[in-house]
Amino acid sequence: MAKADDIARIIEQEQKLLLPSLDEDVAFAIGSSIRNRALAEGLRLVVDIRTWDRQMFFAALPGTTADNSEWVRRKINTVRRYQKASYRFVVERDGDAVFPPVMAADPADYVIAGGGFPLRVVGAGIIGCVTISGLPGREDHNVAVAALCDHLGLDRALLALGPES
């Protein structure tokens, strides 16, 4: 039952976390809030915010490595191709780390891991993503969702995923 609940909640997040617009100022505001939270809480993570044609915000916090940026790249590819949160794949596929061969998603370029979240804009659809790497996948996902809730003035608790069961 927890799996079905998680999938339903992630779909709800994807639908409700709808930005009125996405430009450099919005990306900077969301990215800065994630960076500030990470610094305050001692989280070691990388954050990337982008439209599909360019990166708009990037920060790598102390304790991260080039490997985190590589995870970000692969999560971005997954969100862009499949137009859904990368963590939804984790839940739907029961933790499989790679796509089955029939999906032709090379593990060098795509990953099933939490932390990539689609940025949906009113009237435009999904035009980019916010991606986190450095924490366990569910927490990477939760950091992105919390930042979007904060930016939109929504109560985090109403959209948060509960503890993993």
Q: Which domains does the chain have, with CATH numbers?
A: 2-159 (3.30.450.150)
Question: Which tokens in the block code for residue 5?
Answer: 């609940």
Predicted confidence at residue 95, as pLDDT, reads 66
Q: Give the model confidence (pLDDT) of 117-154 as tens digits.
A: 999 999 999 999 999 999 999 999 999 999 999 999 99
Q: What does the alpha-carbon distance between residue 81 and residue 16 come to, in Å, rounded to a whole number?
A: 21
Model-level pTM?
0.95
- pLDDT higher for 103 or 79? 79
| Other beta carbons less than 10 A from residue 92's beta carbon | 14
The reported pLDDT for the residue numbered 44 is 97
**What pLDDT, on a 0 to 100 scale, did the predictor assign at position 99?**
87
Query: Is residue 87 within 8 Å of 118, Cβ to Cβ?
Result: no
Question: What per-residue confidence (pLDDT) applies to 94?
Answer: 79
